[in-house]
Each structure stands twice: as structure tokens, then as C-alpha cells.
Structure 1
Amino acid sequence: MAKAVKINHVALVVSNLEKACEFYEKELGLEPLPAFLFDYPTAFFKFNEEQQLHLTEWDDTYSFRGHVCVQVDDFNTIFYRMKELGVIDILPWGKIRQLPDGAMQMFVRDPSGNLVEISSLPGSEIDPKIFEDELYKPGIYVSGRNDFRGYKSADATLYHDRT
């Protein structure tokens, strides 16, 4: 049986390619890459040597809870910048939190309304003022649905290779 081995890229549909490109390039620091010669608006960005983000402009409907998670190297700076921009969205998954593995988590909307989870590595230094901010809440998100299906563990983590 064949096995999927990694995520090569994530494609997000945007309503305005130029505004979306500016957000991902200037606010999240992604490097633009040449895209194929498609006959529709699209842009590719480099996360690292193996993973990319693809943006493509269409008139589609956006997901309320579906998201892509982006690991950042400086959660503090990103938090304050996203708060300044007013793009932190606490409605789908709750307030900013520190997960049980120690990673910080927040959700923001890009200019097209796509939900982007921003996460730090467990053990990253976090500004204590964030824990006092009105947008922070301790503990994991609780939906109130009381439906515990799925693969769960007290030792869960977003980061499997902590080296």
C-alpha cells in the first residue's frame, strides 16, 4: 500500500490575490516563488525547502472552522501584530491558548477570510503580558458538544519532532 509521506503544499482560495499576497509575504514572512503559467490568478510561497503555500483567486465560499496551521519563530511579535491588525478570530476555536504540550495557539483571518492557526513551538519564550490579555484563556478549547470520538491522548502534540 502506498503511503502519504508529507504535505507538499496547502492551497487557499482568496478573493483578492494582491491583498492576500501582501498579508502572507509581509505579515507572515513567506517568500514568493514562481508559479506555473496558469490562466488564473495564483501565487506560490515558500514555507521551507519542502513545503509551500499556494494562493488562488476564485469566487468561492470560505470555511468557518477549517484552517491551515502555521508555526512561527516569534509568537510574541506575531500576536501583537495580529492584534494591531484586528484579525484575531476567537469565534471558531476560542481565545488564544497555551496547549497542554506548551505550544501557543491563536487563529487569525487573512484578508479573504481564510482561517490561519498560528502556533509556537512548545517551550518557546512567551511574553507574560499575553497571559493577561483579554484575548487569552487558559486550558484547551471546549465546544460543549461532549462528543469524544477520534484519536485522543493526554500526551498529544502539534509537534512530533521536537529536536
Structure 2
Amino acid sequence: MAKAIGVNHVALIVSNLEAACEFYEHELGLEPIPAFLFDYPTAFFKFNETQQLHLTEWDDVFSFRGHICITIDDINPVFWRMKELGIIDTSPWGKARVLPGGNLQMFVRDPSGNLLELSSPPGYELDPNILTDEFFKEGIYVSGRNDFRGYKSKDATLYHNN
């Protein structure tokens, strides 16, 4: 049987391509790369040598909880910048938290309303002021649904190669 071997790209629908490009390039530091000659507004960005983000402008409806997780090399200034921009979104998954693996997790909305999970890498030293900020809460997110189906472990991590 064939096996998926990695994520090549994630495609997000945006409502304003130029505003989205500005955000991903200048706020998150992604490098724009050439896209195919599609007949609709689109832009490609490089995460690394094997993974890309594709933005395309449409009038589609957006997901409330669906998201992509982006690892940020220096999340301390990004946390404060996202707070300054007023785009930290605590409604779908709660406040910023430190996950059991030690990385900070926070959720923000891009200019088109797409939900992004921003995460620090393993071993990153967090600004202690983040841990007392109004947008931070101890412990993992609790939905109150009490439905524990799925594959779970007390040793779960976002980083499977460490």
C-alpha cells in the first residue's frame, strides 16, 4: 500500500490576496516564490525546501476551527506583535498555552480570517511576561465535551523527530 510521506503545501483561501501576502511575508517572514500562471489570484510562499503555503483569492466561506500550525523560530516578539495587531483569537481553541512538550501554542487570524496556530520550537525560552499575559492560560485546552475518542497519549508532541 502507498504511504503519504509529507506535506508538500497547504492552500488557504483569502479574501484579499495583497493583504494576505503582506501578512505572510512581513509578519511571519515567509519567502514569496513563483506560482504557476493560474487565471485567478494566487501566491506561493516557501516555508523550507520541501513545504509551501499557497494563497488563492476566492469568496468561499471560512472554517471556524480548522487551521494550519506554523512553527515560529522566535515566537516571543511574534506573540507581542500579534497582540498589538489585535489578531489573537481565543474563541475556537482558547488562550495561548504551553503544551506538554514545552512549546507555546497560540491562535491568530490572518487578514482573510484563516486560523493559524503559531508554535514555538522545542526548547525555546519563552518571555516570562507571556506566561502572565491576559492571553495566556496554563494547561491544555478543555472543550467540556468529554468525548475522548481518537488516538491520544500523555506523551503526545507536535514534534515527532525529536
For 2:42 and 2:57, locate their aligned partners in 1 and report how far apart those are by CA, in whole Å: 6
Moved more, 120-129 or 58-67: 120-129
Q: Secondary structure of the equivalent of 1:23?
A: helix
Q: 1:85-106 CA distances to partner (integer Å, 9 max, x unpaired)? A: 0000000000000001101000
- 1:15 — aligned with what? 15
1:88-131 CA distance string (max 9 Å, x none): 00000000000011010000000000000000112200000000
CA distance in 2, matches of 1:19, 1:137: 30
RMSD over aligned CA atoms reads: 0.4
1:115 has 2:115 as partner: yes
Q: Secondary structure at the match of 1:92?
A: coil
- 2:4 maps to which residue? 4
SS in 2 for 1:134: coil
Q: Matches of 1:161 and 1:10 in 2, distance apart?
A: 20
Letter paired with 1:158: L
Gaps of 5+ in 1: none
Task: Tell me which residue corresponds to 2:101.
Answer: 101
- Runs of 4+ off more than 3 Å: none
Task: Tell me if 1:91 matches 2:118.
Answer: no
Letter in 1 for 2:98: Q
Structure 2 distance, partners of 1:9, 1:67, is 13
Stretches of structure 2 lacking an aligned partner (at least 5 in a row): none
What amino acid maps onto 1:96 in structure 2? A
The aligned counterpart of 2:76 is: 76
The residue that corresponds to 2:30 in the other structure is 30
Between the aligned partners of 1:30 and 1:161, the Cα distance in structure 2 is 23
Equivalence for 2:132: 132
- The letter for the 2-side match of 1:117 is E
TM-score norm. by structure 2 comes to 0.99
Looking at structure 2, the residues matched to 92 and 136 of structure 1 have their Cα atoms a distance apart, in angstroms, of: 14
TM-score (norm 1): 0.99
The residue that corresponds to 2:55 in the other structure is 55
Question: Percent of pairs identical after alignment?
Answer: 75
Q: Give 3-state SS (helix, strand or coil) of 2:18's partner.
A: helix
- Residue type at the aligned position of 1:151: Y
Q: Assess if the C-alpha contact under 8 Å between 1:104 and 1:122 holds in 2.
A: no
Q: Structure 1 CA distance, aligned partners of 2:15 and 2:126?
A: 34
What's the secondary structure of 1:24's corresponding residue?
helix
* SS of the residue 2:125 aligns to: coil
Tell me the matched-pair count: 162
